[in-house]
Amino acid sequence: MWQYWGMRLAQHLAAVLPDPARYRLAEMMGELVFHLWREKSRSTIENAAQVLSLPPGHHRVQAIARQCFHNYAKYLVEFFQLPRLTSADLQAKVSQLSGWEHVDSALAHGRGVIFVTAHFGNWDIAGAVVAVRHPVSVVVETFQPPRLDALVQGARVAHGMATIPLENAGRQILRALKRNEAVALVIDRPVHDEDSGVPVRLFGRGTQWPGGAAALAMKTGALILPGGCWRNADDTYSALVARPIRCETTGDREGDLRRNMQRIVDALEQIIRPHPDQWYMFRRMWPLPATPGT
């Protein structure tokens, strides 16, 4: 229950503090967590080393990892503020949106679209921007207790996003796609169980991701739309929808799944690469500590 009241307090602070104070407080909290939660900071450093192709002890790797914690704390502040934002506030917050023509062309096929992104930048603001233009269902993790989950998901619903709990997402996703709607998935969850993940290469190194996005596209014919929404220096955002990916089916399901997932991962890598300090991967992405060049 403390999580619920903690979020209510954070929402109150986000409402009463001016932007500079909110962001400064967030950076201070991010710095504190970086130093205290050593398991997460070590994983973030290892991941940043692989992304940058530098040793974990390099000063740039250390700086990027610390900035990840700062930026994630700022994302949380903005999430707490989300229920109070108007459509005009969202338009001002997202100063640039590129690639929406890809959404229009993908929807013209009549089979819905599957947005895929990473724990990067601000995926909730991205979802709210999509919802202004087209119905979108976001697949979400369920939080406990239920009171906390209602508070978290209510912030999304307030901006027109429908939420689909991850635990029983399949049928609801299929129904949304049949209505030619959009479904949004955050897919960069490393899977280190060989029997439940799809092998992919990310930033030059092998790992495994869930294959659900590609499997859904192969089953339904929906196009995949990789995208991202990253923070600018002035704390506005730029958002990008990349070119659609049409998942191929040759009859070799396992091979098709691997090839299609790799295309998706490649597209997300290109979005993450210029802004590694906004990729909030606080768990180990690769099975072993990062070693540049492997």
The whole-number pLDDT of residue 3 equals 65
- Does 290 fall in a domain? no
- Does 283 fall in a domain? no
- Does 288 fall in a domain? no
Give 200's pLDDT tier (boundaries 50, 70, 90).
very high
- Does 237 fall in a domain? yes
> What domain range includes position 218?
2-278
Q: pLDDT tens for residues 23-81?
A: 999 999 999 999 999 999 999 999 999 999 999 999 999 999 999 999 999 999 999 88
Q: pLDDT tens for residues 159-189?
A: 999 999 998 899 999 999 999 999 999 999 9
Query: What value does the mean pLDDT of the chain take?
Result: 92
- Does 284 fall in a domain? no
Q: For the chain, what is the domain count?
A: 1
Q: Is the pLDDT of residue 204 over 50?
A: yes
- Does 179 fall in a domain? yes
Q: Is the pLDDT of residue 293 over 50?
A: no
Give 2's pLDDT tier (boundaries 50, 70, 90).
low
Tokens of 195: 């029997």
- Does 95 fall in a domain? yes
- Does 136 fall in a domain? yes
Q: pLDDT tens for residues 109-160?
A: 999 999 999 999 999 999 999 999 999 999 999 988 888 899 889 989 999 9
Alpha helices in the chain (DSSP H): 2-16, 19-36, 38-52, 59-81, 87-93, 100-107, 123-133, 146-157, 169-178, 212-220, 253-272
Task: Confirm if 4 and 147 have CB atoms less than 8 A apart.
Answer: yes
**223-231 and 237-241 strand pairing:** antiparallel
The whole-number pLDDT of residue 168 equals 84
